[in-house]
């Protein structure tokens, strides 16, 4: 954080990025419950489907791609509010905007930290859910890779909503209204990839589409995120 607060504009962008990333990761590891809660939620939502719909293995194997993806999407959604909230409340965000460093890079680093603390563990944990829902072992690879790419897109899009609502007292439901329509395409191609993996079809097309969304998000989302943060802080 010390590097962020200096007035010199001489910090390179890479250094700035890694400083913010390291700080955000450190902060989330200091509050371990916040780190674990989305993961517990992820497992619990997936548990609801066998209990609520049907415990039949064949049925579960059919719905598993969708269930895992919807659970991952909701878990990401619930954790979005935390990206900017604490920094907004203690005034850090205001200082970041005042600093000569580009806000976009800071936002991108915060999104990356968010993904590393939610999307990445979710993707790595998803085989456990796959086993719970009788997903064929051959589809595990497709599921993990699609979640790895897809959750990063979800974090990027979600940060726009988080930035827009950070200035509001009750942003909870609103953020899902803003972000969920934009999540639908990611969900379609993400769960499509897992379904293709179950059916033994080639996965490259789905990965390419998810990768295209990721590329587009990486390039364009930082503009929208920084604009929305600026609006919320200065408004």
- Which residues contribute to the site for other proteins (CB under 8 A)? 157, 160, 164-165, 167-168, 170-171, 174, 177-178, 180-182, 184-185, 188, 224, 227-228, 231-232, 235
Other CB atoms within 10 Å distance of the CB of residue 170: 8
Q: Is the Cβ of residue 174 or residue 199 nearer to other proteins in the bound state?
A: 174
Q: Is the Cβ of residue 16 or residue 108 nearer to other proteins in the bound state?
A: 108
| Shortest distance (Å) from residue 122 CB to other proteins | 23
Q: Is the Cβ of residue 16 or residue 70 nearer to other proteins in the bound state?
A: 70
Q: Is the Cβ of residue 35 or residue 74 nearer to other proteins in the bound state?
A: 74
CA distance 37 to 156: 20
| Shortest distance (Å) from residue 229 CB to other proteins | 10
| Shortest distance (Å) from residue 168 CB to other proteins | 6
| Shortest distance (Å) from residue 161 CB to other proteins | 8
CA distance 25 to 20: 8
CA distance 125 to 74: 15
CA distance 204 to 54: 32
CA distance 22 to 17: 9
| Shortest distance (Å) from residue 210 CB to other proteins | 15
Are residues 194 and 143 in contact, defined by beta-carbon separation less than 8 angstroms? yes
Q: Is the Cβ of residue 56 or residue 89 nearer to other proteins in the bound state?
A: 89
Q: Is the Cβ of residue 2 or residue 184 nearer to other proteins in the bound state?
A: 184
Taking only Cα atoms into account, the Rg of the chain, rounded to an integer number of angstroms, comes to 18
| Shortest distance (Å) from residue 185 CB to other proteins | 7
Q: Of 77, 64, 67, nearest to 45 (Cα)?
A: 67
Q: Of 151, 96, 121, 149, nearest to 43 (Cα)?
A: 121
Other CB atoms within 10 Å distance of the CB of residue 92: 16
If you ran DSSP here, which 8-state letter would residue 149 be given? H
Q: Is the Cβ of residue 23 or residue 110 nearer to other proteins in the bound state?
A: 110
| Shortest distance (Å) from residue 55 CB to other proteins | 26
Using CA of residue 129, residue 131, residue 136, residue 140, what is the dihedral sign? positive
């Amino acid at each position: 954080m010390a590097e962020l607060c200096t007035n010199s504009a001489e910090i390179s962008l890479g250094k700035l990025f890694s400083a913010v990333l390291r700080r955000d990761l450190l902060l989330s590891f200091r509050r371990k419950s916040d780190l674990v809660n989305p993961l517990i939620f992820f497992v619990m939502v997936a548990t609801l489907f066998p209990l609520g719909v049907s415990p039949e293995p064949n049925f579960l194997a059919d719905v598993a791609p969708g269930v895992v993806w919807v659970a991952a999407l909701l878990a990401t959604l619930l954790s979005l509010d935390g990206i900017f909230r604490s920094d907004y409340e203690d005034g850090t965000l205001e200082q970041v905007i005042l600093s000569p460093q580009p806000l976009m890079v800071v936002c991108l680093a915060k999104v990356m930290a968010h993904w590393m603390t939610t999307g990445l563990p979710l993707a790595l944990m998803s085989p456990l859910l796959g086993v719970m829902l009788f997903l064929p072992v051959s589809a595990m690879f497709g599921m993990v890779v699609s979640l790895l790419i897809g959750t990063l897109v979800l974090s990027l899009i979600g940060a726009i909503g988080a930035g827009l609502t950070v200035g509001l007292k009750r942003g909870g439901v609103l953020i899902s209204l803003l972000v969920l329509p934009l999540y639908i395409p990611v969900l379609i191609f993400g769960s499509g990839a897992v379904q293709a993996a179950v059916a033994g079809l080639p996965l490259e097309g789905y990965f390419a589409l998810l990768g295209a969304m990721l590329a587009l998000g990486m390039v364009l989302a930082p503009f929208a995120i920084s604009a929305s943060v600026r609006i919320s802080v200065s408004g």
